Amino acid sequence: MSANIIKYRKAFDTSQTLLDITGTDEFPLDFDVLFSKKKGAQILVSSLKDYNTWISSKNLQKWVPLFIADAKCFYYSDRDTYMIIYNECRPEARIRFSLAHELGHIVLEHLNDERTELSRGGVDDPTYYAMEGAASTFAGNLLAPPILIDDFLSGSKFDVEHISTRFNISPSATKAYRAEDYKYWKSLTPSKHEKAILKRCHSALHKHICIDCGATFEIEGSLFCPICGASSSSLYYRGKDSVDVIYPGVELNKSGQAKQCVQCKNEEHLEKSTYCMICGKTIVNQCTYAIANNVPCEYNPCSHDEPLPGNARFCPYCGSETTFLKDGVLRPWDAPQKPRLFAALDSEEDDSPLPF
């Protein structure tokens, strides 16, 4: 089934308006928060298992358990309430897409007093497919608004795995419902609602935690962990309340040079110099791939030759070693040493006055 902004522009606009007027400020989208902020008719959400247990407890005669492949929405016009029932046996990312899809049917007003549920037999085929396409367009754009994908990528290319992890959508839905839309969206001018979403979400969008080494970092467009070099599938979004775990590194000056040479402690560096003029040690942390001039073009060399953070062992854009790691300015992340968080806690203990 085709679903995209070109065909279902209203569904796209509605998804962005809803995100804005509900004040959504965090992704992956939290449905509990969204549903609680949505004005108008109440939306109840139940797993298929809970729904069937509830129905069977009513001792209705001739009761057959309901089966739903993914999710379905019912409208109870007498109570002006919607009920979304989802199949809890599906993977989480797929359930999230189904919830967003059903929410699409609700806000796009596909259900009403006459049509309290959507099924293929209920309406003619073209109408049914149009409603399905609109609901899926709404869902994809609600879960991962193109303006946030664009900001998140910060110029790097569309990476299905990275986007799928960041917004908690399945890789197949990311391919089917995000890639084409994003490409087309690039030719549009963002609406005021989209701009407001970006403003609210921008800073949190780039906060990462790496599940392989535990490091937290905030680098726009990063595809690799700068500490252990893990790829995007290990990088998760760092929630508002999580604790920072910063690996130790070299303190840099404004030009991105080591404040103090790690080898000879020299602090005097010439402008734009990348080596210590006293002992010859590396003083700027760069991607070794980006500055290598013997790499053939067809290997698409990394273009990020700017100074990297003082604790980066790997280039966050291409995953290559940094000059600090290669030249022994930094030790490998898993060499025996403590992240600053714990080191700080330890040193606090050490410094505490003796009790006598």
The correct pick among 71, 139, 210, 245 for binding Zn ion (CB under 5 A) is 210
Q: How near is the Cβ of 153 to Zn ion at its closest, in Å?
A: 16
Q: Is 66 in the site for Zn ion (CB under 5 A)?
A: no
227 binds Zn ion per the rule CB under 5 A: yes
Closer to Zn ion at the Cβ: 23 or 328? 328
From the CB of 32, what's the least distance to Zn ion, in Å?
21
The residue length of the chain stands at: 356
Binding residues among 133-152 for Zn ion as defined by CB under 5 A:
135
Residue 276 binds Zn ion (CB under 5 A): yes
The window from 19-27, 80-88, 179-187, 202-210 that contacts Zn ion (CB under 5 A) reads 202-210
- We find the least distance from the C-beta atom of residue 144 to Zn ion, in angstroms, to be 19
Taking the least distance from each CB to Zn ion, the nearer of 47 and 263 is 263
Q: Which of 94, 207, 281, 326 binds Zn ion (CB under 5 A)?
A: 281
Interface with Zn ion (CB under 5 A), residue from 315, 325, 329, 330 = 315
Q: Does 103 bind Zn ion (CB under 5 A)?
A: no
Under the binding rule (CB under 5 A), the answer on residue 228 touching Zn ion is yes
> Within a 10 A sphere around the Cβ of 161, how many other Cβ atoms?
14
Per CB under 5 A, 231 contacts Zn ion: no
Query: What's the rounded Cα separation, in Å, for the pair 262 and 251?
Result: 10
- Which of 303, 304, 302, 307 is closest to 269 using CA atoms? 307
Bridge partners (DSSP) of residue 210 are 235
In the list 71, 144, 258, 290, the residue contacting Zn ion (rule: CB under 5 A) is: 290
Binding residues for Zn ion (CB under 5 A): 132, 135, 210, 212-213, 215, 225, 227-228, 230, 261, 263-264, 266, 276, 278-279, 281, 287, 289-290, 302, 304, 315, 317-318, 320
